Amino acid sequence: MAAESRTQHPFHMYDAVMAQPQAWASIIQRIRPLTGQIAPRLAQAQRIFIVAIGTSFHAAEVGYHLFRYYGVAVPIQTMHAFDFALYGPNLSARDCVIVISHRGGKRYSLEAIKRAREAGCYTLLITGEGAPSTMQYADITLKTTEQDKSSAHTVSYTGAIAALSCLAEALEQQPHAPTFLQEEFPTILRTCLEADARMAEVASAHLKHRRIWIVGGGPSGITALEIALKIKETSYLQAEGMPVEVMLHGPFQCVEPEDLFILIAPGGSAQARVLELATMIKAVGAPFIVVSDGTAISIQQDAAAVGTIPRAPEPFTAITCLIPLQLFSYHLALARGTNPDGFRLEDPHFAQAMKLVQL
C-alpha cells in the first residue's frame, strides 16, 4: 500500500531523517550474526564488487571507505549498476557481488545481480523490507529498514551503510572497539539531529542563490554528491556536489559571487585541501557554510554559518556530516514550498515524463 501523502511539516522525509539513529542500532543488532556467517565466504573472494544506482551508489562508495578502515584484505571495487550490467567487468566464480537497492526493483540493479549469478559469483543483496524480484538471484539478502515513505531516501541510505559497516567489521584485519557500531555511534547520530533548528534557520537565510556547490574530500566528497542529489530531488534547485579536487580542476571557473558553497570539512586527510578551497571562495566573494567536527577552525570566522558535529572516525563522518545537511535540504524544500516526499510527481508534466522510462 502506498504511503499516505502529506502536504505540510512533518513530511515523511523528516520522520525518516529523525529515525536514523534508532534504525542504525537496530540493523547492527539484527544483522551482526548474519554478517559473521557471511564473512568467511567473502574472505575467500578474489574480488568484491559493490554495485548500485543513485543514492544507493553513494552508499556503495562509502562502503569502500569502510572496508578500507577495517583493513579488509580482499580488493574492493564500486561500480554503477548500469555500467556493471552493460559494460563488464569479466567475472568468475571467485568473485563476490554485493548489490544495494532501496526497494530492490530497479532495472539495472536487477540486470547486475542476474549477470553476477549467471557468472557463478557469490551474490549478496542489501535492500529494504519486502520481497523484491532481485532476491531470487541473491545467495544472501540483508534487510535494512522499512521502505522510505519519501522519495528522498534517507533512512534507507543510512541503513545500507549500517549493513556495509557490519560486513566490513566482520572481515576486519585491523581490530576496532566492538561496541562502537551498536552503542557509541547511534549516540553520536542522535547528537547530530540536534542541528535541526539551526539548519532551518540557515535554509531560510539561503533561498536566493543562483547555485549551491557542495564540496568535500574522501568520504565527505561522497556526502557532497548525496546532498546535492537530495537538494535537487526535494527543492528542485541547482545544486552541484563534487570532491574538492574535482572542483579545483575546472568547475571553480563557473563560480559566481551570488552562489553558495557548503564545505564538508571534518578531520581527516582531505580537510587541508578543503580549507585551501575556502580561501579561494573568499577571494571571489561567495558565501560558504561549513559542516565540521570543530577541527576546521581556520575558516570558521569567515563562514556564513557553521554546523558542528561530534568527532568520529573519518569513514563514519559520511553519516555524521550528512544528517545536518539532510535537515538543511528538508528545510530548504519547506522554505521554497515544495514537497520533499514527492519526486515532483505532483507536477503533471513530470508525472507524465516519468511514465516514459523504466527505472
- Tens digits of per-residue pLDDT, 111-123? 999 999 999 999 9
Residues 154 and 200 in one domain: no
User: Is the predicted pLDDT of residue 132 greater than 90, yes or no?
Assistant: no
Place of cell 529494504: 128
Residue 356 lies in a domain: no
**Longest distance between any two alpha carbons in the chain, whole Å:** 57
Per-residue pLDDT at 43 exceeds 50: yes
pLDDT higher than threshold 90 for residue 173: no
The pLDDT score that the predictor gives to residue 195 is: 98
47 and 166 housed in the same domain: yes
Residue type at 114 in one-letter notation: K
pLDDT of residue 99: 97
Give 177's pLDDT tier (boundaries 50, 70, 90). Answer: confident
Q: Render pLDDT for 266-290 as a digit per residue (tens, 0 to 9).
A: 999 999 999 999 999 999 999 999 9
Bridge partners of 97, per DSSP, are 49, 123
Does the pLDDT at position 76 exceed 70? Answer: yes
pLDDT at residue 1 is higher than 80: no
Q: Do residue 92 and residue 198 come from a single domain?
A: no
Q: Residue 93 is part of which domain span?
A: 12-176
Does 119 lie in the same domain as 79?
A: yes
Q: Judge if 151 and 284 occupy the same domain.
A: no
Q: What's the predicted TM-score (pTM) here?
A: 0.97
What nine digits make up the cell of 79? 561500480
Q: Are residues 158 and 43 in the same domain?
A: yes
Q: Which residue has the higher pLDDT, 238 or 178?
A: 238
Q: What is the DSSP letter of 55?
A: H
What is the residue-averaged pLDDT of the chain? 96
pLDDT at res. 2: 57
CATH assignment of the domain containing 143: 3.40.50.10490
Say whether pLDDT at 52 is over 70: yes
DSSP strand E in 45-194: where?
47-52, 76-80, 95-101, 122-127, 140-143
Query: Counting every residue, how long is the chain?
Result: 359
